[in-house]
Amino acid sequence: MMAQNYSAPESVNRLQQRALTVGVLGLVLCVFGAFHDADQFFRSYLIGYLLALGVTLGCLGLLMLQHLTGGNWGILIRRPLEAATRTLPLLAILFLPNVYGMSKLYIHWIGPEHETLGEFQQRYLTIPNYLTRAAIYFAIWFVLMLLLNHWSKQQDTNSEDRMLRRRLQLLSGPGIVLYVFTVTFAAVDWVMSLSPHWVSTIYGFLFVAGQIISAMSLMIIVVVMLARTEPMSRVLQPRHLHDLGKLLFAFILLWAYFSFSQLLIIWSGNLPEEIPFYRSRLYGGWGGVAVFLLLFHFALPFFLLLSRDIKRSAKVLPVLAAAIIFMRGVDLYWMIGPEFSPKAFHLSYLDFAAPLGIGGLWLAWFAGQLKARPLLPLGEPKLAEAIEHDEH
């Protein structure tokens, strides 16, 4: 198999152009909103940013999981996963507005209320510490991304070098641990600290599970899109979609388990400093969002993905995956929005403009990275087995 035979089709160019157009329009609305309502802009921007970052980091986690397990399920999506991880430079730049808006987002520990926090929280939640930890998170993610992509590229020209495959496995084990720890601490710093008096030990795992769901959903959409034209149309088979659908089903169950565990433990504990988190999210307008999440982030995908036919359908599965990515944004909105409007449901046009703006730029960058390398890891020893046609 020659590399040029597996270059990105013209549909990727069209995707890049359309995504860039949507991204620019979304950011223009964001700039307009920033001048008219800076507080709302930074809140909406944080939601959109975390959604895009979650896809990138979820792809990083999935990539390491595939290298560690060696499963055929990930060989077909390895190059799209790698392309998604290479959007990290863009996300590092897009993090800057969050830094600029810290005084409007984290008013409970930057302002006078800082003195009401515990001794450890006062030392932990400071602007220098926040920035230092953010730099450490990005540094770790960058190192993992660079090594995984560099060694994978080398594998294309040195397919017989078993040491490269071994390096990828040896990196992926501790890399997954680092991924979970950094995402957990980042979730605490960037989201849970919006309400520093409330804590949850499972909070970071909710973000890890959500990111993996976003990444797997995107991969399903991408492989189906690529398979509409040559050469990938000769590669993608129903069994590949079936494997990806089963993994998506498993990750949704994992997210639901973490979510219900947090609710059950906090509600049964009934501690005054803990239950306000759910009181503001389960009643009034926010309660309606909670029901919406229950139905369309868990119940509907759960029952649909029980079907073998749906998991193997190139028409239904990507539509479901796109809906799940939308629900990931709703979940982030439900987690962040009540911190700023706990008594009444509030929705702004910026809550749509920011995710569209950031998401459009992210998708355009991703499409550019997808064109940079062959769509399949041509040096992977198990590639022929992974794409072998099933006679049955």
For tokens 């560099």, the residue is 150
For tokens 């990806």, the residue is 244
DSSP 3-state assignment of 186? Answer: helix
Tokens of 237: 């088979």
The mean predicted confidence, pLDDT, of the chain is: 92
Tokens of 311: 């998991």
Residue 157 pLDDT? 82
Residue 227 to residue 357: CA distance in whole angstroms: 27
> Which CA distances in Å does 114 have to 121, 197, 299?
9, 10, 40
Burial 202-238 (b: 16+ CB within 10 A, else e): ebbbbbbbbbbbbbbbbbbbbbbbbbeeebbeebbbb
Using an 8 Å Cβ cutoff, are 188 and 196 in contact?
A: no
The model carries a pTM of: 0.95
390 pLDDT tier (thresholds 50, 70, 90) = low
CA 220, 221, 224, 229 dihedral sign is negative
Average of per-residue pLDDT across 278-298: 93
Longest dimension (CA), the chain: 69
Residue 1 pLDDT? 43
Residue 290 to residue 294: CA distance in whole angstroms: 6
Average of per-residue pLDDT across 75-86: 95
Average of per-residue pLDDT across 112-119: 78
Tokens of 293: 């999440």
Using an 8 Å Cβ cutoff, are 58 and 213 in contact?
A: yes
Tokens of 261: 């565990």
Residue range 125-164, pLDDT digits in tens: 999 999 999 999 999 999 999 999 999 999 888 766 678 8
pLDDT above 70 coverage of the chain, percent? 97
Report cis status (omega within 30 of 0) of the bond before 231. Answer: yes
Average of per-residue pLDDT across 108-127: 85
User: Is the pLDDT confidence value at 4 over 60?
Assistant: no
Residue 113 pLDDT? 74
Using an 8 Å Cβ cutoff, are 235 and 76 in contact?
A: yes
Residue 378 pLDDT? 85
Burial class (CB in 10 A: 0-12, 13-18, 19+), 123: exposed
